[in-house]
Amino acid sequence: MSAQDQGDAVRIANPAGPPWREPGMPALLAMTTFAFAGFAVMLPVAPMHMVALGGDELLAGLVNAVLMAATILTQLVVERMRSWMGWRVSLALACLLLGLPALGEILATTPGQVLALAAVRGIGFGIVTVSGSSAIGALFPPERRGRAIGAYGLAVAGAQLVLTPISPWIADQAGMPVALTVAGLPLVGVPFALAAGGAIARHARAAAAGGLPGGAGPAADPRESPSEERRALVRLWPPILALTAVTCAGGAITTFTPQFVPDAALTVVALFLYTAAAAVARWAVGGPADRFGADRFVLPGLAIAALGLGAIAAAISGVAGPASPVVLIGGALLVGTAFGTMQNVTLVRAFEVAGEHAKGVASTAWNVAFDAGTGIGALAIGALAAGTSFTLSFLALTALCVLVSFTLLLAGGRTSRDAVGASD
């Protein structure tokens, strides 16, 4: 192990410093910001482009569903792919596959072309999402992951905070080509990807050489046995189920707000506050999750999501009358708060229940659930709204969060009774 590797290992395991100042983290955070900037723009703009090319609500929802399907299929092989490709190449490739298709969509003239480019973007997104959370799991010991995930979450949400709300406005006012050009920002992240990948690889070598002082210990074998993977997946179902329910709501909001909110200014405000609330919550819950345990925040997160979704349904239906815009904004804030909270605590919880030997399994399962929920939310709500209304669609999402809450409560009670019986 080189002196540089040893120095990085000692510093990254130092619990005193803030996570964003650790070796490799500044470059990782910068790359993440640019990568998610392009994703943030395309999430509402690509469905808008589909509508502009003649598609209906179902096809508009299909854009992000295809994106997430490609993302999930990619996520299933990222850990193995990176074992032979390396951190630097895989992170740089992710930025290229996110940025180039966005620029290519400027030339798209048919719905099929938009869907094909969405699939390519999904491959890049699958690489960057699994790699980002895996990097946090590898760089930081368990007692620091809540704060580290919070810092990573700020990078994820930073560009989204600005670009998700205003990208529909950019497309309307400046034109679709301008919005798609902005979506090419992941290409700026390539140099940062190379730098971050090098630092993470050095830290992985240091960990493999004999563990980290005061920190994460020896690196886990990336090739867990099939039986270990299966056992880890069984233990992961509660945080994965909770995450999926909330990301269904997030996928519906980011995809269809321009459609169910007719006022452009209100759309910008709602998306901005939703994204801001998610960013603040994901950062703010990190410290308490480390201190009190991430599991304590899962059910409150689901309850907040259900309240927010019910408020949005009431606003869309007009039941709130003149107060509908205020109710809509309140609902967006609540769902955003739940979304950010659950992004943090379910990932921390996934690492906990999977065990240190199966961090790769936890990262992959968490990212698959996150993106599956986003894609299902976009597709299912699009289909339901096309056949009924957006009001009924958001009421269905409300019921989903309530149902998942009761499921987790019952499962938790059964686990507690089993533990008591075993002790007797």
Whether the predicted pLDDT of 7 surpasses 60: no
Task: Indicate whether 379 belongs to any domain.
Answer: yes
Task: Indicate whether 1 belongs to any domain.
Answer: no
* Ranges 10-19, 20-29, 84-93, 186-195: which has the least confidence: 10-19
Residue 179: partners with Cβ closer than 8 Å, 6 or more residues away: 41, 45, 167, 170, 171
Question: pTM value?
Answer: 0.71
**8-state DSSP, 121:** H
Q: Name the residue type at position 371.
A: D
Q: Which domain holds residue 353?
A: 7-219+226-423
Task: Indicate whether 134 belongs to any domain.
Answer: yes
In this predicted model, what pLDDT tens digit does every residue of 91-134 receive, in sequence order?
999 999 999 999 999 998 888 999 999 999 999 999 998 888 78
Whether the predicted pLDDT of 4 surpasses 80: no
In this predicted model, what pLDDT tens digit does every residue of 149-205 receive, in sequence order?
777 877 777 777 778 778 888 998 899 999 999 999 999 999 999 998 888 877 767
The pLDDT confidence band at residue 264, using thresholds 50, 70 and 90, is confident
**8-state DSSP, 110:** S
> Chain-centre distance of CA 268, in angstroms?
21
CATH number of 169's domain = 1.20.1250.20
| Residue-level pLDDT at 97 | 97
CA distance 378 to 388: 15
CA distance 140 to 21: 12
Task: Indicate whether 254 belongs to any domain.
Answer: yes
Task: Indicate whether 418 belongs to any domain.
Answer: yes
Contact status, residue 33 vs residue 189, Cβ threshold 8 Å: yes
| Residue-level pLDDT at 338 | 95
Task: Indicate whether 144 belongs to any domain.
Answer: yes
Domains: count for the chain = 1
Task: Indicate whether 310 belongs to any domain.
Answer: yes
The pLDDT confidence band at residue 214, using thresholds 50, 70 and 90, is very low
The pLDDT confidence band at residue 31, using thresholds 50, 70 and 90, is very high
Whether the predicted pLDDT of 412 surpasses 90: no
CA distance 408 to 53: 43
Closest by alpha carbon to 280, among 339, 347, 332?
A: 339
Mean of the per-residue pLDDT values of the chain: 81
Percentage above 90 pLDDT, the chain: 33
Task: Indicate whether 2 belongs to any domain.
Answer: no
Residue 423: partners with Cβ closer than 8 Å, 6 or more residues away: none
Whether the predicted pLDDT of 237 surpasses 70: yes
